[in-house]
Amino acid sequence: MQVIYERCCGLDVHKRTITACRLKWLGSDWQREIRQFGTMTKDLLALSDWLVHEGCTHVSMESTGVYWKAVYNILEGQFELLVVNAQHLKAVPGRKTDVRDAEWIAELLAHGLLRGSFVPPASVRELRELTRYRSSLVRDRARTINRLQKVLEAGNIKLANVVSDIDGVSARLMLEALVAGERDTQQLAS
> Above pLDDT 90, what percent of the chain?
70
Domain 7-119, architecture per CATH: 2-Layer Sandwich (3.30)
pLDDT (tens digit per residue) in 121-133: 999 999 999 999 9
pLDDT of residue 183: 85
Cα separation, 54 vs 63, in Å, equals 24
pLDDT (tens digit per residue) in 158-181: 888 888 899 899 899 999 998 999
Angle of helix 67-75 relative to helix 41-53, nearest 10 degrees?
50
Domain-by-domain residue ranges, the chain?
7-119, 123-189
pLDDT greater at residue 64 or residue 79: 79
pLDDT greater at residue 91 or residue 74: 74
- Tell me how long the chain is: 190
pLDDT (tens digit per residue) in 1-29: 788 999 999 999 999 999 999 999 998 89
Left if phi > 0, otherwise alpha if psi is -120 to 50, otherwise beta: which for 77?
left
pLDDT of residue 76: 96
